[in-house]
Structure 1
Amino acid sequence: MNSFGNELLRETLRSSRMATEDVRKLFQQLDTDGSNALEKDEIMELLGRIEDMTTGERSSEDVRRYVTDYLFATLDSDKNGTVDLAELEEYVSTYGLVANLNVVSAAASPVER
């Protein structure tokens, strides 16, 4: 658990912000069925592509899956099992895409105990 927490912290320190418009474009690229909604695996790929564009390096699949689970639970405000563009845009416009920072805060508590 300690090692995993340290890996999350490293990922947070190399994170970078991204413009809302760029996130919207990535969302639309991944929304291949035109439903205006992404499922959990697509959100994981969205995070990977954001990493590609911001840091040039993807985090491990374990870290990305953990971040995806946390972010998906946060973004799926209507709890319908998908994240639509409006939910993502609302989150990004309010908080910026700081999923890694949020996860580190959540993950730090159990590690510190």
Structure 2
Amino acid sequence: MNAFSSDLLRETLRSSKVGTEDVKKLFHQLDADGSKTLDKPEIMELLGLVEDLTTGERSSEEMRGYITDYLFNILDSDKNGTVDLKELEDYVSTYGLVVNLNVE
């Protein structure tokens, strides 16, 4: 029982959000071509990496694809087909980024 309680406490104390600096690092990691922008597949991978860092478990590709489409339309504020770091930072600093919607 003590071991279970300790594991449960450790899990609840684990960070469940990713800060702006972490998102910046992930952005640069995913911008492999040096374009200073992310396209839709890279945003999808960004969401997966955020899930890895927060929940430790990725949602299905279908669910992540749906979230990516929705989020990409919001993030791409200038509607040029890519998301630059400023667009992403503006969104995350204002609204945060919750990836796991717990949709079954």
TM-score, normalised relative to structure 1: 0.73
Match of 1:67 in 2: 67
Indicate conservation of the 8 Å contact 1:71/1:99, yes or no: no
Output the CA distance in 2 between the equivalents of 1:99 and 1:78. 23
Identity score, percent = 75
CA RMSD of aligned residues (A): 1.4
- Whichever residue aligns with residue 61 of structure 1, its letter is E
Q: How many residue pairs are counted as aligned between the two chains?
A: 87
Structure with the larger RCO, 1 or 2 (CA within 8 Å, 6+ apart): 1
Structure 2, unmatched stretches of 5+, are 1-15
- Whichever residue aligns with residue 80 of structure 2, its letter is N
- Please state if 1:92 is matched with 2:88: no
Answer with 1 or 2: which has the greater Rg: 2
TM-score, normalised relative to structure 2: 0.79
Q: Equivalences for 1:29-68 in 2 at 5 Å?
A: 29-68=29-68
Q: Classify 1:21/1:98 alpha carbon distance in 2 versus 1 (closer, same or farther; 3 Å).
A: same
Output the CA distance in 2 between the equivalents of 1:69 and 1:100. 15
Output the CA distance in 2 between the equivalents of 1:90 and 1:65. 22
Match of 1:19 in 2: 19
